[in-house]
Amino acid sequence: MTQLATLDKFFQGMPPVAAMQIRATGFDGEVLRLNAPLSANVNDKNCAFGGSLASLMTLAGWGWLMLKLQEAGEQAEVYVADSSIRYLAPLYDDLNGEARLREGQDWPAILRCLLDRKRARAAMMAEMRDSTGVLVATLEARFALKYAPASDDGA
């Protein structure tokens, strides 16, 4: 199973996320891209529901961390600790978001901290743009990672 298919399987296992129809569409090791149709995330004004924008951007940050852990062959529980969202314009298109590690963050240092201390924090940034490239929302979030070694029974 590809990395993106594994992430999509996680998304489908969470009923609220499954209802949003979120799909991972690309990951180059630096940026994770997610998509969801407007039709599953529309509000009373026929634009994207703000909660869907927040959810997709948060899940993009969470998903980025899960994929990087998978690449490193490590396991951890990943939780959003706090976030700040800016809504800049209504979105009348499908939701396309992307997340990356926030500038100044160092993934190898985060991973070392996780392995040494069994916990770490990672600062992520995410954004959403409309079909013309106009920025419509941004998110800055901190995630907590708690080391979760694989069990001996293969589970």
Q: What is the DSSP letter of 140?
A: E
Any idea what the Cα angle at residue 56 is, between residues 149 and 128, rounded to 5°? Answer: 125
Structure tokens at 3: 């990395």
pTM listed for this prediction: 0.94
Q: Does domain 3-147 have CATH number 3.10.129.10?
A: yes
| Confidence (pLDDT) at 155 | 46
Domain ranges in the chain are 3-147
Any idea what the Cα angle at residue 137 is, between residues 135 and 140, rounded to 5°? Answer: 120
The span from the CA of 37 to the CA of 31, in Å, is 20
Q: What is the DSSP letter of 60?
A: H
pLDDT range class, residue 149, cuts 50, 70, 90: confident
Q: Collapsing DSSP states into helix, strand and coil, what is residue 153? A: coil
Phi, psi of 77 (to 5 degrees): -85, 130
Structure tokens at 143: 């995630």
Mean pLDDT of 64-92: 97
Q: From residue 114, how far is each of 30, 98, 118, 140 by CA, in Å?
A: 19, 24, 5, 21
Look at the block and give the residue holding tokens 């190898």: 108
| Confidence (pLDDT) at 153 | 53
